[in-house]
Amino acid sequence: MSHTWDPDRYLAYADERGRPFVDLLARVQAETPSVVVDLGCGPGNLTALLADRWRGASVTGIDSSPEMIAAAREIEGIDWEVGDLRDWVRPDPLALRAPVDVLVSNATLQWLPEHLDLLPGLLDRVRAGGWLAFQVPGNFDEPSHTTRTELAAREPYAEHTRDARVPTSHGPDDYARVLLDLGCEVDAWETTYLHVLSGPDRVFDWVSGTGARPTLQALPDDLRPLFEDEFRALLREAYPADASGRVIMPFRRIFVVARKAQ
């Protein structure tokens, strides 16, 4: 089931969403790459960090969302493309794509259930001695996700939401094993961030811009407000605010940096 993305809603938490990208990038030790690609670049604000770090490189941002790429094109000096990440693991008999020195994917692979099997194909696009780096959420057993899943399985919502996309990921050891078996040097780790959110229904605001968005868009207009009201109430119960109105939302993320064998 298709859905669309809203760059403005996504950027409402730009700092919090950007920190894992910065932490990932810090472990990529490429010095003077020529070709850098960001798969799943979103609105491009983080791709710009790649261009700032490697000023001599050709930097390309690719995303399947036309809305995201339209927002990204406001940033100059980077090539922007609408495209599917899975195209990068398909054979390229004409060798039209140049080998990539640094291939980055931030909070994107979790939308592809088969993404563990895609890693060998992505690595094939990386030059010998180059880098593959990605980050995925690892918080899918948290109430921010489980309450949505449970609510969406109830009537009258289930008939509309059963085919909605839901994100998923693996443990850092699973990713490390695949890439180690492919001959890479691998640095894999996880971090749990504690995001301090203020204001009413801030957890709902967060998830409605990312993980819950396909579910919300799958609902017809007459049911969506009812679902949102129930979802907000469940999230307020799961993430109670303190006396100052603050909510602390734990967010586990999984990081992998792999260097391809020379």
pLDDT at 173 over 90: yes
40: left (phi over 0), alpha (psi -120 to 50) or beta: left
Residue range 125-163, pLDDT digits in tens: 999 999 999 999 999 999 999 999 999 999 999 999 999
pLDDT at 3 over 80: no
| Helix, strand, or coil (residue 176) | helix
pLDDT at 181 over 60: yes
Residue range 8-30, pLDDT digits in tens: 554 455 677 889 999 999 999 99
pLDDT at 46 over 60: yes
Fold entry, domain 7-259: Rossmann fold (3.40.50)
In 3D space, the residue among 139, 247, 144, 252 whose CA is nearest the CA of residue 192 turns out to be: 252
CA–CA dist 100, 34 (Å, integer)? 8
Domain ranges of the chain: 7-259
Read off the pLDDT band of 210 (50, 70, 90).
confident
Q: Is the dihedral of CA 234, 240, 243, 246 positive or negative?
A: negative
pLDDT at 5 over 80: no
**In the predicted model, what is the mean pLDDT of residues 48-63?**
96
Q: What end-to-end distance do the CA atoms of the chain give, in Å?
A: 41
Residue bearing the bigger pLDDT, 164 or 200: 164
Q: Which pLDDT score, from 0 to 100, does residue 9 have?
A: 54
pLDDT at 2 over 70: no
Q: Which pLDDT score, from 0 to 100, does residue 17 have?
A: 80
pLDDT at 4 over 90: no
